[in-house]
Amino acid sequence: MADYRAPLEDMRFVRDEVFHAEQEWQAMPSTAELNAELADAILEEAGRLVEAELFPLNQRGDAEGCLFEGGKVRTPAGFREAFLELARGGWCGLGGNPDHGGQGLPKLLTQAFDEMLYASNASFALYLALNNGAGLLLDAYADEATKALYLPRLYAGEWLGTMCLTEPHCGTDLGLIKTRAVPDGSGGYAITGSKIWITGGEHDLTENIVHLVLAKLPDAPAGAKGISLFLVPKRRVHEDGSLGEPNGVVCGGLEHKMGIKGSATCVMHFDEARGILIGEPHQGLATMFTMMNYERLSIGLQGLGLGDVAYQGAMAFARERRQSRAPGGAAEPDQAADPILVHPDVRRMALDARAWNEGGRLFAAFVASELDRAKYHPDVEVRDASADLVALLTPVAKAFLTDRGFAATVEAQQLYGGNGYCVEWGAEQYVRDARIAMIYEGTNGIQAMDLVGRKLTRNRGAYVKRLVERVREDLGGGDDIEPALRPFQEAAMRELERLERVSATLIEAAGKEPAAAGAAAHDYLHLLGHALYAWMWFKAARAANRGLSGNGPAGKDFYQAKLVVGRHFLERQLPRSESLERQIAAGPEGLMALDRHLF
Amino acid sequence: MADYRAPLEDMRFVRDEVFHAEQEWQAMPSTAELNAELADAILEEAGRLVEAELFPLNQRGDAEGCLFEGGKVRTPAGFREAFLELARGGWCGLGGNPDHGGQGLPKLLTQAFDEMLYASNASFALYLALNNGAGLLLDAYADEATKALYLPRLYAGEWLGTMCLTEPHCGTDLGLIKTRAVPDGSGGYAITGSKIWITGGEHDLTENIVHLVLAKLPDAPAGAKGISLFLVPKRRVHEDGSLGEPNGVVCGGLEHKMGIKGSATCVMHFDEARGILIGEPHQGLATMFTMMNYERLSIGLQGLGLGDVAYQGAMAFARERRQSRAPGGAAEPDQAADPILVHPDVRRMALDARAWNEGGRLFAAFVASELDRAKYHPDVEVRDASADLVALLTPVAKAFLTDRGFAATVEAQQLYGGNGYCVEWGAEQYVRDARIAMIYEGTNGIQAMDLVGRKLTRNRGAYVKRLVERVREDLGGGDDIEPALRPFQEAAMRELERLERVSATLIEAAGKEPAAAGAAAHDYLHLLGHALYAWMWFKAARAANRGLSGNGPAGKDFYQAKLVVGRHFLERQLPRSESLERQIAAGPEGLMALDRHLF
């Protein structure tokens, strides 16, 4: 009953008309051969693939889940076949390094594919997401021999990568890990310990699995500064890439979860498994952050994709469902009742979900284009500036996209009435599948702490200052602007000033009172999110306005709808930032007042 | 791993120190024999029962669900035994009419029991909730013979009642129902049709089930004015109460749902089932509202109860879990890490859930005490005023308590990190079980429409005006108030003024523009909710302050915690009302601007 169509039209608008992808790409040698036409061809094919192959497996995969038996994991029916088809089509190496068989496509393009993957089948998407991050990490830190051996196989989807961080007693606080790595005298290490919540730790999609594992060397300093990173394959790998014996890595079981039931979330035991060190000893956490930051943006896209598929499903329902009459009298008097979209409150839910989704798609594209500049731009100053911006935006992309994505799935579910609670319509699965995105890859609270700590107060607002300059320049003066854009410009400017004001106060408070940053963190992240979306909606409105007056490619209906959805954001979502500012102003005292034993 | 303790201490505080229950009860002849001591004894026994009998069945019931086989429904293991014990203990007739074997206890007392039921086992609670509403309806509308036959058995839990409204093509818009009732020539009616989403439509808890069914008589006017209400037992009932043959009512299957899996949600087919008319012909919807309004407050308590058990579970987790260090340096340096409650953002989540819960408990008690006045007060003016107030508050109690309750379960789940997503900890079940409460018994959008339509604009704000007068009187002047109460008083006054301002504007706008009421509905309900909670927190702070200075029964720790939680509400929850006011001011134009085919 549910349905999903890859939102190619909006993706094109965002990419070409808002972010001018072709110009961006052609300014950078590594991506200069890419153009909008080729990007379209890739995304159209991707859309066909996810619509035809992955979406039909989504509900069944949820019902069936993964099965653990005799140490092996069986993914839901159809997952293996679909994966093999994707791998054959080269879809596991889209963003990979061309020197090792990757296709070197920029993030601004690949993130659109990621969104589709998550929308059509979030459980399935995770196997690829982890693999992409593992490839990125190895490309950045492994020696040439390791890269030559592993990367082509990861990019081809012959093997899949994982990320092994958490242990039963520690997730956020990785300094506490107990997994040990002992040199084995032949240049390798014997890894021993247990890891939990390992996505794709064991499965039947590929014949080998490449684990990236955090562990401590015998001489490791205490805490987070004593963590090293190791590559530990499920089966040992000969120098020619052929597979050897099993490597002392076993799956101890699967977690039973609220959702993403087609994703194998494994307990993994390492018993003197042979690993090789990746990066420098004791630098494992910093090294792993290459992968973690990748996954954080990826998980943001999970929020976005699920928000969109939830909206699409709700609209399919709304087109069929008739209840009661329009407020001003029957819209379709010859029918027993009007379609539910005549009701303002139904429209409110629909537009809420849609405005968060479309704002999120703009924001995700913005972060992606900055990632591309940071990686590919020929000018080192541009690269550095974009890298700083990405550092600032990563926690927002992870947390705000997933908080808003979850909210969108809940609004969409609400729109179905009772049907939304029944499994058959699929709406409730999106809510369950979206919920995890606020939790894993660093909870959204941890993202907020990262933002106010490392990204705001530690550099005394330097990143935010540069962001503000950038936005202010883009917004331009107020005088010569089209009347249709004025409310967008004014709102974005107002939020920018709010952001500056709140940032300055918070930096000062954090210097005086240790709990101030943590007390403000959640609300500050959301405030920054609102400010960024206000800017994004200004950009979208500007592009839509241009499209309207110049017969742009997307057509009049599209541009007019874009302006209406943007107006909804301004009128009914952005006002939240006022109350966030007030909440931040309350400071830490109230939060810290209650004795621990009184909770 | 999860745990639940009935919150008796807070219930006592709310009942005795905030709402002065004993004085209330003694002012009304029907409840004059009740005192705080007896109420305590009842609730302590209730607490023991739900903790020992119902809570242990909750997670198992979710895992097992209800089973449909050969037309019969088997509830999860242990449900039947627990139900029989409750029935034997007289717990199905707490609020029932004493003339027919009920115990006639006031709502202010019974709603505390209802909260415990939902908190300990929401699926189980529903069987009793429907039965209570059915009893209330029959007591109000059935003839004496029917009451004498049915009420004692419903109160004793020998039989259980249901509410049969929804059909596949209509839920909200009941005027469209197709179920027919044809006079059978012997004073009864033959009922034919299908109903869906019937909670407890079939089960193994009792030998008979008493369905209250909406159907249309042959001469019925079209639409909602042609609905009549019928009592249709599963098995026919002889005049002496003994059971006769099956009555043409069969269960066609169970819904597969996101949560409340231990609650049998049935498709019911009526095939010339014999029914008797309850109330007047064609007045069925008005008659049914006696039950529906009961269930709406009851479902509000589902939101509250689940919010509280979720909070309690999260605190049990937080007491054990250690990650990272307190912002100002180690709180427990001899341990590897500090308990997570040292972190301001963890406290934010905990206090968010707790402040919504405690505010909700105050509000639920307020509505209950007004219900009691409306029913039992000797002064007709008091009765009428309270009835009006209850009419105004019912949609808020249903929708705001469930929206905030769901939010509390989500915050509590977030506090566990990854464990919150794993089934074993129980946190995710509370989220799934709470989600339905925003949907059934009239979606929260329908509640909001009821509020701005029937309860606000139709009487041009008369109910709101009386509420405002009542609150203003209670808040008193600003001059002679204790300094600790001043922020509570000021906040409540500010929200009251906001409510007056927004109400007046909305009434005017609704007179001019048909979509204005619907466009504002959701945000107006939440704005009213915030204003009411602000008043509730003023009352609680006043009582806590009094308790602190006069050695009140709850003890110093309790009162101080209450003031801290109230401060959290003022500082970090109430600011939302500002943005709600701004959203309402946007009016309907933006919502209605998008053509239906562009959604």
Cβ–Cβ gap A351/B417 under 8 Å: no
| B594 within a domain of the structure (yes/no) | no
Same domain, B525 and B434: no
pLDDT score for A478: 65
Same domain, B358 and B461: no
Choose among A6, A21, A17: nearest CA to A558. A17
Cβ atoms within 10 Å of B333's Cβ, excluding its own: 8
Quick: pLDDT tens for B101-126: 999 999 999 999 999 999 999 999 99
Cβ–Cβ gap B258/A443 under 8 Å: no
Contacts of B82 (CB under 8 A, 6+ apart): B53, B54, B57, B124
Quick: pLDDT tens for B296-334: 999 999 999 999 999 999 999 999 999 999 999 999 999
Cβ atoms within 10 Å of A246's Cβ, excluding its own: 12
Kindly report which listed range (A527-531, A540-544, B167-171, B587-591) carries the lowest average pLDDT score.
B167-171
Residue B2: pLDDT over 70 = no
SS (H, E, C) B399-433: HHHHHHHHHHHHHHHHHCHHHHHEHHHCHHHHHHH
How many whole angstroms separate alpha carbon B340 and alpha carbon A515?
A: 14
What is the domain extent for residue B464? 443-474+481-588
User: Can you spell out the DSSP letters for B106-122?
Assistant: -HHHHHHHHHHHHHH-H
| B596 within a domain of the structure (yes/no) | no
pLDDT score for B172: 85
Q: What is the pTM of this model?
A: 0.98
Contacts of B160 (CB under 8 A, 6+ apart): B127, B130, B131, B134, B154, B200, B203, B205, B206, B209, B210
Structure tokens that stand for B432 in this block: 């799934």
How many whole angstroms separate alpha carbon A8 and alpha carbon B10?
A: 54
CATH of the domain at B347: 1.20.140.10
The whole-number average pLDDT for the span B166-176 is 91
Chain B residues closer than 8 Å to A565 by CB:
594
- A319: amino acid identity, one letter: R
Considering only CB atoms, A421 lies closest to which of B422, B439, B593, namely B439
Chain B residues closer than 8 Å to A417 by CB:
171-172, 439, 443
The whole-number average pLDDT for the span B514-525 is 98
Choose among B373, B346, B374, B363: nearest CA to B403. B363
Same domain, B248 and B345: yes
| Per-residue exposure over A6-37, b if at least 16 CB sit within 10 Å of its own CB, e if not | bbeebbbbbbbbbbebbebbebbeebeebeee
Catalytic residue among B441, B473, B500, B589: B441
| B557 within a domain of the structure (yes/no) | yes
Cβ–Cβ gap A444/B590 under 8 Å: no
| B286 within a domain of the structure (yes/no) | yes
Same domain, B340 and B447: no
| A441 catalytic residue (yes or no) | yes
How many whole angstroms separate alpha carbon B220 and alpha carbon B213?
A: 15
How many whole angstroms separate alpha carbon B224 and alpha carbon B221?
A: 8
- A590: amino acid identity, one letter: G
Same domain, B396 and B450: no
- Residues B588, B513: contact at Cβ < 8 Å? yes
The whole-number average pLDDT for the span B219-230 is 95
Chain B residues closer than 8 Å to A343 by CB:
445, 518
Backbone angles phi, psi at B296, to 5 degrees: -65, -45
Cβ–Cβ gap B345/A592 under 8 Å: no
- Alpha-carbon dihedral sign for residues A140, A146, A149, A153: negative
| B599 within a domain of the structure (yes/no) | no
Residue B421: pLDDT over 60 = yes
| Number of domains within chain A | 1
Same domain, B424 and B571: no
Cβ–Cβ gap A435/B431 under 8 Å: yes
With a cut of 70, list the residues of chain A below it in pLDDT. 1-2, 478
Same domain, B348 and B460: no
User: Can you spell out the DSSP letters for A500-517?
Assistant: HHHHHHHHHHHHH-TTHH
A99 three-class SS: helix
Quick: pLDDT tens for B234-284: 999 999 999 999 999 999 999 999 999 999 999 999 999 999 999 999 999
Same domain, B422 and B451: no
Chain A residues closer than 8 Å to B568 by CB:
590-591
A321 three-class SS: coil
Q: Rounded mean pLDDT of chain B?
A: 97
Residue B450: pLDDT over 90 = yes
Cβ atoms within 10 Å of A78's Cβ, excluding its own: 18
B68 three-class SS: strand
Same domain, B450 and B435: no
Catalytic residue among A441, A490, A508, A513: A441
User: Can you spell out the DSSP letters for A244-271?
Assistant: EEE-SEEEEEE--BSS-TTS-EEEEEEE
Choose among B572, B576, B564, B400: nearest CA to B495. B576
- Residues A47, A11: contact at Cβ < 8 Å? no
Considering only CB atoms, B336 lies closest to which of A176, A578, A599, namely A176
> Which helix (H) or strand (E) element contains residue B87?
helix B79-88
Length of chain B equals: 599
pLDDT score for B340: 97
> Which helix (H) or strand (E) element contains residue B249?
strand B249-254
Same domain, B403 and B516: no
Q: Could you say which of B389, B416, B441 is where a domain stops?
A: B441
Cβ–Cβ gap A344/B583 under 8 Å: no
pLDDT score for A477: 74
pLDDT score for B480: 80
SS (H, E, C) A194-226: EEEEEECCCCCCCCEEEEEEEEECCCCCCHHHH
Considering only CB atoms, B515 lies closest to which of A172, A327, A568, namely A327
Rounded to an integer, what is the distance from CA A222 to the centroid of its chain? 32
| A557 within a domain of the structure (yes/no) | yes
How many whole angstroms separate alpha carbon A582 and alpha carbon B494?
A: 15
Cβ atoms within 10 Å of B287's Cβ, excluding its own: 22
Residue B51: pLDDT over 80 = yes
Chain B residues closer than 8 Å to A568 by CB:
590-591
How many angstroms away from the CA of B149 is the closest CA of chain A? 34
| Per-residue exposure over A508-525, b if at least 16 CB sit within 10 Å of its own CB, e if not | ebbeebbbbbbbbbbbbb
| DSSP classification of residue A144 | H
Cβ–Cβ gap B590/A571 under 8 Å: yes
Same domain, B435 and B488: no
| A452 within a domain of the structure (yes/no) | no
Backbone angles phi, psi at B187, to 5 degrees: 90, -10
Same domain, B526 and B420: no
How many angstroms away from the CA of A348 is the closest CA of chain B? 6
pLDDT score for A172: 86
Judging by DSSP bridges, how do beta strands B249-254 and B265-278 pair with one another? antiparallel
| B593 within a domain of the structure (yes/no) | no
